[in-house]
Structure 1
Amino acid sequence: MKKVVYITLSFFAVLLIALVTIPWLFKDRILQKVEQELDASLNARVYFDYDQVSLSALRRFPNISARLGDFGVVGNAPFEADTLVDIGRLEVNFNLFSVLFGDYPELTGIRLEDGNVYVKVLSDGTANYDITYPSEATEDGSPSQFKIGVNRIEVKNLGFIYDDREMDFFMALGALDLQGTGDFTLDVYDMVIKGGGQLVRMDYEGSNYLLDKQLAVDTRVNVDLENMLFSFGDASASLNDFHFGVDGSIALPADGISFDLDFFGKENTFKSLLSLVPGMYTDSFSSLKTSGQMDFKGFVRGIYSDDRFPAFQLGLKVEDGMFQYPDLPKPVRDVSIDLLVDNPSGVVDQTEINLSDFSLKFGDQPISGRVYVQNLVDFDLDGRLVGSLDLAELTSIFPLEGMQLRGNLAIDATAKGRYDSLTNTIPTIQAAMNFANGYVKSVEYPAAIEDIALRSTISNTTGKMNDLVVDVSSVGFKLDGEPVAGSLKIRDLEKLIWDVSVHGVVDLGKLLAIFPQENLIMEGRIQADIDSEGSYADVEAARYDRINVSGLVALNDFFFADADLPQGIRIREAKADFSPRVIQLTKFDSRLGQSPVTATGRLSNYLAYLLGEEGAALVGNLDLQSSSFNVNEWLTTSGEPAGSDQPLQVIDLPRNIDFNMSVEAGEIIYDNLVLKNARGNMALRDGILTFRNFSTNALGGSLGFSGSYNSREIAAPLFDFVFDVNALQIQDAFKTFNTIRIFAPVAEHITGSFTTRFELSGILGQDMMPVLSSLDGKGLVRLAETAIQNSQLIRGITSLTRLNDSANLNLRPFNIQAEIQDGMLKVPPFDLRIWDYEARIQGSTGFDGSISYLVSMQVPAEKFGSQLIGLASGLTGTDLSGTSIPLAINIGGTYGNPRIGLATGDNLEGYLTNMLRSRVSAAGTRVQEQLAAEFQAREDSLRQEIRERAEVVKDSVRAEADRVLDQTKERAAEEVKGLIRGLTRPKP
């Protein structure tokens, strides 16, 4: 007996040792197979931390478990900046016997823990999850070496974002814990899904439908892959405390998505419905006192496709609902809701909405109503809303921490009839709303808003648009003893006849203290005394003499700043007088960010701009003055001056502004350029900013320019300028202008000044810098007496020619006719003297920094000294006095790393020998002409090459612009990612 026990114990000991040691014995093999499979399957960059790799045969026995730490997948362009998968720990399970005895491991389970998955679909349908090679041919042609026998998938503490720009759909889930089980190897199987998480937000076509809800699911789905049919049986889910079930199926035929689903509430009460109300589902929700019953059901049946929509129905009933916050004296009670949304046809416009009953009591104040909409085409309507509300009583029902409210609201409204714009028909309406004895006070500020009052009626007894009257006979309040009062009357929807009046003073700082806004600073006093009568018909017809507008608006000690405008705007004093035709700006003393600005002028067409058809332009004439204006503040996202870490950004100019402005500034700071005594005229019209006759002092000289900045295609804004430059210092210009650094790099070593009239046009990048590959321009550049010092290029020429000339070069005044095409500077032949030698230079510089120049010089023979005497000694009739040796030098490469050589390809000795044998002069002239022709041919070929490269760069610039312009959605996605990262931090 003991022997049997020993044998048994020994067997289990050996088995245990084997289970512990097998993972280490087969670790390299398994990792090798994992890496091979990933490389063969995924067209993406996969990473994981080798130091966090572990294997165990005990953790998931009888499977062997492999864990990878910090696992991630990053797609290729255009998704190289988006991480598809970033998981703290990935666990994959293999059948133990397939590892020990099989040819290929069999994958049986997957577990993802602590991380995020970000699925992104671009507007053209390109998706970042499309990273697998086609199944019939992997990258190296080898088939997958894994067998798939997965029967369990788990995710724990996972974030998931689905960002579909093509459908304009966005969904974010956080802190997901889900388990999916089933025999996934079969064509037909049951999949059981259990778990939950947080639904952070769900948006569709710019509207938010769900926000910050707790999600749970427990369902069984029958999966029929052969017919692409997914059937739900006893499927349960919940949002917060709202539980519902789903029964039916979803199929994926060739022409869309087929729905046959019934949904219904499960064990819900009125409290369950309240859990979906924003702000209600908090930590104290469990202690909320409630009663009442709720019923919820509906269906979706039919095909959803590009041109079809399924039939649907939604019903909701609440009876005897009541809720009361803990420790507050009064409840909301007698809540009754009976809603049916019905569409039996699948035509959305035929949807019928029937809220046959809606009633409740806030304490002792009843509100009741009903509304019936027959369809969504002509909106046949029958509705009623009547009730009263005591705000003091409301605060005893809904807690408003730090806020006191008082006042009485009464409303009685009925509407019945059809809306039809073709016949100018609207429902008949009788409505009255009155608010009296209003009072609002915040604990953050001692002053209160008092005597808040509103009296208004809406009336239309005939159903005709021109019989509608909206009469706000009085509205007003007092803030810290200062009254504001007004009235508004609108009649005849066709002509839109108005009579409006506003009088009073508002302290904006006090108002913001009572109603604080996050990341917003505002202070100052605004005074308005405005009366106006007129009609929209007269605005459209520009009959301004029939419109009465009189009064003034004054602003004092105003300051505004928020997250989008951190620079801040301060207006010490502003006054404007109103008339029907113009607003006269009589005073405007401000500081925009760091820049003081004063202005006077007038605005016209403002009524059409405010009330007219879309696109009506606001016309203005303004005189602007500033002692110092820092443009950089307004071209960066942070409001800080632009620097190495604060790139400029494209300005999108409004299309409906037509301004003419005269500008005077003591200095203007743009990027690293300081313009002194700037003056000129600007015109903004249809998204194009035009500069006329601008003049300024800069860089030791004077600068004048005229031209335009065109932002109508914001992805590739255009500029077109003519510059008049007089005596600008070359060194300062080199340090300031990127175009000079690229196209004239030799300027780094030139001292002196230059004058030019140069035309330049092209595309601006998203950093407001010229796209060099897009530049076109031409002009005559006049250089004053200049000097080139310590130039590597000049040293290269002296080294090649072995002449005793220095690396420094003094140049007499000369002119260069230059032309830029497609980002290539072309310099036609021009003459000058180099070290007192007659010389001719021609060539080009590319936007990529490449240079290609031909330098032809006539060098007196005696300058070569002993180099030439030795070569000439064996020749007869070689009196070289008065003879010049022609040299042609090719310069290529880049300015920083030039390639310099004789254009003939000879070394210096061979070239001089050939020149002597051919008696120099005649042969030299022919050689130089031939070399110039050959150089010109090479230049033509090079220009074509540069042009092709320029198009590639411009395409990439446009792609970058599209990326930058898409950053609004990107920022929104990043904000949600931040929330999810907070939810899915690894739990201790």
Structure 2
Amino acid sequence: MEKTNTNRWKKILKWSFIVLGLLIISLFAIPSLFNDVISNEIKKGINSNLSTELQFKDSNISFFNHFPSLTFSFEDVNLASAKPFEQDTLINAKELGFGVNVFKLIFSDKVVITETYLTDSNIYLIKDAFGRSNYDIYKTTDTTAVAKDTTASDLNLNLRRLKLENASIHYIDNDNGLTFSSNGLNYNGRGGIVDGKLELGSRLDINSVNITFNHTDYLSGKKIEAKAFTIYDTENLSVALDKNSISLNDLKVNFNGNLDVFDNGIAYNLHFKTEDGSLEKVMSALPPKYSDWSKAVTLKGDLDATFNLAGYSGTVPEASAVDKMEVDVTVANGTIKHDNAPQALEDLQLKFNGDITNDNINFKVDHLDFTLNNERTQGDLIINGTSDSLYVKSAIQSHLNLDILNETLNLPDLKFNGILVTDITTDGVYKPLSSKLPKTKGAFKLTSGLLQTSGHPEPIRDIELDALIENTGETYEASTLTINTLNFSFLGNQFTSTAFLKNFDQPEYDITSKGAIDFTALNDVIDLPLVITNGQLTADMHLKGQLNNAQAENANSGTLNLKNLAFTSEMLPYPVVISEGQFLFLNDKMAFTNLAVQHQSSHVLMDGYFRNYMDYALYSKGILTGDLQLKAPKIDITEFFPKEAQLTAQTDSISNSNTVENVVSGVMQIPKNVDLAIKVIIDTLDYNKLNITKLSGDLGIKDQGLFLKNSTLNMVDGSAKIEGFYQPTSTQEALFALNIDAKQLNIEKGYNSMALFKELAPAAAQASGIVSVTYELTGVLDDTMLPVMPSLKGEGILKVHDVKFDGYKLLGKVSEKSGFDALNDPKVSEITINSTVSNNVLAIEQFKFKVSPFRLRAEGQTSFDGDLSLKMRIGLPPLGLIGIPVVIEGTSDDFEVKLGKKSKDLSSEEPDDTSAVDAQLEDISKRKDSLRDSQSVNKINTLQNDINEIKSDSIN
């Protein structure tokens, strides 16, 4: 019996060694037997699917690289980026490996890839400012062709596992100002198809990650761990995130939700919740300067936070079209104290929650409470409603020694001092359309204040603010704001101000300001909520009166000096710089002298005065009126058009290249609530290729429109009188009207510099000489500031004084058909041509001209799409009583000349909303005729002299 058992164990061991031997032999034999098959199929599959070149030093196949998987590996890999970044590397790696299904390989000769490995790699991802990426390396193919090719191929990509070991990823998104880099990234993703859905579980570990957005570091050297379980429903194009968690240093967050992809849009619904949160853990996840700061700070307190976000982009079903943000945060028993501080901020209690759903706002701070230096700060807040009708209730009381708070927090890059006392209560409805404000009573007082940031070595000193606000009747009329003191000093400049505002519906004001402000340096200290970015301001003024009240006596006086002041505006593509200017206040007028303004390459010098300037500055319906004189050595009008950078392809015989151009992307906007009459004198005005000199006239700005009257100018070697108007109807469209009476124009220069001239007179391309034009034209401009041709309507006269045609195809064919050589490249003079423009067609009335020895008569139509329908009569010598009729039909590139008497009318193209456009044009034209002319230069100068002569003591 014992011998039988011994024999049995011998047989088991024998066969075990045999099987083990066979397995070991297989581990070496299978790679050798199938090396060529696997290598050829993988290389062929890569080359057929990638548009860039994959280079490698060597390749091998083994069970031991990623045991027990049979792995085909490329060694020392370099994959080039997609065009136009083909000179850059997308991926370099020590190994790019593909795990092969052994059973499929042995029993079906199919190479099935189930795993992909990338080891010791550097991945460089780039997206430039035009949205082009270097990682778009897959060849685009027809889906049907792909399906057929996959069936026929011996390579099957069935990626159930992706593994990255020790990867460094560098992502630069210039389009959105985002930079991401990580080191020591390890990723392991596994999955499979269950019930027709792809389920993937993954684990991610990153030793160090850095994220910069808009030049601000948000993560620097952070460690990230993440687990995720994701379900992809390819049939319904949705992604469900389930059982996901991420650890950012010590802070752990669980999240789930879903992403739904529709034909023309995407909808998402995501939920985040902290797990075992605390203030200390939150601080470890903050941007680097705060995480370093937190190491020297005692942080205690429990934190519980949830955040839900739902939204969509594009077009989605109504049930998914939800914009919603929910937040719920609770901080309990909080303590904050820097190691070097003598006192702590204690008993921090904070609880707030709320949501914003579409236009509905619901926000509540149950309590904010903390103690510092035995002084308590507490407050609460409720906001509920919509943006145009909002219920607000709040109460906040504090007595803070900012010196102690500064020591307690010792925040990086920020220092502040002073004593802050607040006591503000608010309860009621904010409804601006009905002039309603909540009942409010509040006091805000800051003494001995100081503020310093890392942006500038000098602090803002001696900050004093004492303000009271009160509303007793829940209306604008019942509101008052009193600023008893507003003082500060910066860089040795002292600025003081007081203000009183009463009745916000029709404000009564009393404002005094004196001192200097250096905005250039001040913007380095703090981000000002102003459009002023640079420059200096010096003020000494007292403004007192009431807005929108003709009976009120305004007693405004003083001066305001500007130097190198730069500001931005949404209506202008470039900053505006006032290099020098002085404003003088006298009652209802504000005069200005030598106001030197620059916008890009355009320079102007202005003198004049404004009325209603306080209404315009403080009152939402106030209209700024004024008379100005504007002189300019040069203005480039195209610099005022909205522009955006676009990529433009340029092709020549040598190479194809891409250039960046700032192209017009909208119509020029005109400010609201402005009524100005401007006397214009411009030495040079550039408009695309058109150069205008010695322009003078009256320019009116009113009702968001530009109106030009009584203007004269020189262009294309001639002179002209021009009147017209321009008014945007949206950001993408504008109306215009132009009345021009031009004399002795050089037809060749006019054709080369005026886009509209090319459309109205295409024959001028083969002509040279002198013409005069009298024309009235109205129409619509598109988002490139060019006319919408079907919208043009007008009529006028073209007078040909002395014109020579050279290679004019139309007359050349007429000459060839008739056999009269004199009609080929003729020279003509003193012709008067009347025409009308409507619905994309230029209709030419009958006109006569002479080409010796013939007398000709012509009329017909041409469309702006290039269609021709003309008829001519060639009167034979001696008196032209006998004539030959000629009909010309076709297009400007391909037309037919034949004998005949009738020609068909061209089909017209009626623009949309013609009646509405016509009504708008007529209304604007009436306003142009009623515009006041600007006051004479003498009147403006007299007014300024009167103000200058006022004694300084009477101003003060």
* Amino acid corresponding to residue 543 of structure 2 in structure 1: D
Which residue does 1:184 correspond to in 2? 193
Which residue does 2:671 correspond to in 1? 654
Q: 1: distance between equivalents of 2:597 and 2:787?
A: 30
Which residue does 1:265 correspond to in 2? 275
1:718, 1:762 within 8 Å by CA — same for their partners in 2?
yes
Q: 2: distance between equivalents of 1:91 and 1:637?
A: 48
Q: 2: distance between equivalents of 1:562 and 1:687?
A: 19
Q: 1: distance between equivalents of 2:225 and 2:800?
A: 78
* Amino acid corresponding to residue 671 of structure 2 in structure 1: P
Q: 2: distance between equivalents of 1:342 and 1:855?
A: 82
Offset, 1:466: 7.5
Offset, 1:389: 0.8
Offset, 1:550: 1.0
* Amino acid corresponding to residue 514 of structure 2 in structure 1: H
2:453, 2:526 within 8 Å by CA — same for their partners in 1?
no
1:237 aligns with 2:246: yes
1:106, 1:149 within 8 Å by CA — same for their partners in 2?
yes
Which one of 569, 584, 589 corresponds to residue 576 of structure 1? 584
Which one of 607, 610, 620 corresponds to residue 603 of structure 1? 610
Map residues 219-298 of structure 1 onto 2, 5 A cutoff. Answer: 219-221=227-229, 223=231, 232-233=242-243, 235-239=244-248, 241-245=250-254, 263-266=273-276, 268-275=277-284, 280-281=289-290, 284=292, 287-298=295-306
Q: 1: distance between equivalents of 2:836 and 2:751?
A: 18
Secondary structure of the equivalent of 1:546?
coil
Which deviates more from structure 2 when the two are superposed, residues 88-97 or residues 818-827? 88-97
CA spacing shift, 1:783–1:555, aligned 2, 3 Å: same
| Deviation string, structure 1 residues 78-122 (Cα, Å, up to 9, x no partner) | xxxxxxxx97599987646556765987563578983669999x9
1:249, 1:259 within 8 Å by CA — same for their partners in 2?
yes
Which one of 11, 21, 35 corresponds to residue 36 of structure 2? 21
Secondary structure of the equivalent of 2:733?
coil
Q: 1: distance between equivalents of 2:228 and 2:102?
A: 29
Q: 1: distance between equivalents of 2:614 and 2:797?
A: 49
1:367, 1:388 within 8 Å by CA — same for their partners in 2?
no
1:932 aligns with 2:941: no
2:41, 2:111 within 8 Å by CA — same for their partners in 1?
no
1:532 aligns with 2:544: yes
1:840 aligns with 2:857: yes
Secondary structure of the equivalent of 2:40?
helix
1:389 aligns with 2:402: yes
Map residues 326-337 of structure 1 onto 2, 5 A cutoff. Answer: 329-330=340-341, 333-337=344-348
CA spacing shift, 1:238–1:547, aligned 2, 3 Å: farther
CA spacing shift, 1:307–1:380, aligned 2, 3 Å: farther
CA spacing shift, 1:104–1:453, aligned 2, 3 Å: same
Q: 2: distance between equivalents of 1:647 and 1:348?
A: 35
1:629 aligns with 2:635: yes
Which deviates more from structure 2 when the two are superposed, residues 815-824 or residues 696-705? 815-824
Give the TM-score of the pair, scaled to structure 1. Answer: 0.68
Say how many residue pairs are matched.
831
Give the TM-score of the pair, scaled to structure 2. Answer: 0.70
Q: 2: distance between equivalents of 1:949 and 1:63?
A: 65
Q: 1: distance between equivalents of 2:205 and 2:664?
A: 45
Which one of 445, 448, 460 corresponds to residue 436 of structure 1? 448
Which residue does 1:762 correspond to in 2? 779
1:786 aligns with 2:803: yes
Which residue does 1:195 correspond to in 2? 204
Offset, 1:882: 11
Offset, 1:782: 1.2
CA spacing shift, 1:750–1:140, aligned 2, 3 Å: same
Secondary structure of the equivalent of 2:443?
strand
Q: 1: distance between equivalents of 2:810 and 2:260?
A: 70
CA spacing shift, 1:88–1:489, aligned 2, 3 Å: same
Q: 2: distance between equivalents of 1:597 and 1:249?
A: 58
* Amino acid corresponding to residue 219 of structure 1 in structure 2: K
2:355, 2:363 within 8 Å by CA — same for their partners in 1?
no
1:322 aligns with 2:332: no
Q: 1: distance between equivalents of 2:309 and 2:837?
A: 65
| Deviation string, structure 1 residues 673-700 (Cα, Å, up to 9, x no partner) | 2323322222222322122232212222
| Deviation string, structure 1 residues 364-419 (Cα, Å, up to 9, x no partner) | 69663242549666444444333111289559923448xxx674222242537555
Secondary structure of the equivalent of 2:52?
strand
Offset, 1:711: 1.0
CA RMSD of aligned residues (A): 5.8
Secondary structure of the equivalent of 2:671?
coil
1:410 aligns with 2:427: no
Which residue does 1:811 correspond to in 2? 828
* Amino acid corresponding to residue 17 of structure 1 in structure 2: S
Gaps of 5+ in 2: 1-13, 312-317, 646-658, 918-956
Secondary structure of the equivalent of 1:655?
coil
1:743, 1:849 within 8 Å by CA — same for their partners in 2?
no
| Deviation string, structure 1 residues 878-919 (Cα, Å, up to 9, x no partner) | xxx99978373647554xxx557651xxxxxxxxxxxxxxxx
Higher relative contact order (CA 8 A, sep 6+): 1
CA spacing shift, 1:153–1:499, aligned 2, 3 Å: farther
Q: 1: distance between equivalents of 2:660 and 2:199?
A: 59
Which residue does 1:338 correspond to in 2? 349
1:696 aligns with 2:713: yes
Which one of 486, 489, 511 corresponds to residue 500 of structure 2? 489
The structure with the greater share of residues assigned to strand is 2
1:381, 1:418 within 8 Å by CA — same for their partners in 2?
no
* Amino acid corresponding to residue 316 of structure 1 in structure 2: T
| Deviation string, structure 1 residues 695-753 (Cα, Å, up to 9, x no partner) | 21222222112222121222122222121111212122122212333443432343321
Determine what percentage of the aligned residue pairs are the same residue: 14
2:563, 2:578 within 8 Å by CA — same for their partners in 1?
yes
* Amino acid corresponding to residue 626 of structure 2 in structure 1: G
2:338, 2:408 within 8 Å by CA — same for their partners in 1?
no
CA spacing shift, 1:887–1:598, aligned 2, 3 Å: same
2:514, 2:538 within 8 Å by CA — same for their partners in 1?
no
Which residue does 2:794 correspond to in 1? 777
Which residue does 1:617 correspond to in 2? 623
* Amino acid corresponding to residue 26 of structure 1 in structure 2: E
2:631, 2:680 within 8 Å by CA — same for their partners in 1?
yes
| Deviation string, structure 1 residues 236-294 (Cα, Å, up to 9, x no partner) | 32456532335x8779999x99999783433x443222245566446x35844434242
Which residue does 2:770 correspond to in 1? 753
CA spacing shift, 1:414–1:296, aligned 2, 3 Å: same
* Amino acid corresponding to residue 433 of structure 1 in structure 2: K
Which one of 464, 471, 475 corresponds to residue 486 of structure 2? 475
Which residue does 1:825 correspond to in 2? 842
Q: 1: distance between equivalents of 2:290 and 2:760?
A: 64
1:677, 1:696 within 8 Å by CA — same for their partners in 2?
yes
2:562, 2:578 within 8 Å by CA — same for their partners in 1?
no
CA spacing shift, 1:100–1:185, aligned 2, 3 Å: farther
Q: 2: distance between equivalents of 1:370 and 1:16?
A: 73
Which one of 625, 648, 673 corresponds to residue 690 of structure 2? 673
Which residue does 1:371 correspond to in 2? 380
Q: 1: distance between equivalents of 2:144 and 2:788?
A: 40
Q: 2: distance between equivalents of 1:262 and 1:899?
A: 67
CA spacing shift, 1:575–1:374, aligned 2, 3 Å: closer
Which one of 51, 68, 82 corresponds to residue 48 of structure 1? 51
* Amino acid corresponding to residue 608 of structure 1 in structure 2: D
Which one of 156, 161, 172 corresponds to residue 152 of structure 1? 161
Secondary structure of the equivalent of 1:714?
coil
Q: 2: distance between equivalents of 1:399 and 1:343?
A: 30
Which residue does 2:369 correspond to in 1? 358
| Deviation string, structure 1 residues 936-985 (Cα, Å, up to 9, x no partner) | 22x43xx35x779999xx9xxxxxxxxxxxxxxxxxxxxxxxxxxxxxxx
Gaps of 5+ in 1: 36-46, 75-85, 123-127, 164-169, 862-880, 904-927, 955-988
1:455 aligns with 2:474: no
CA spacing shift, 1:883–1:461, aligned 2, 3 Å: closer
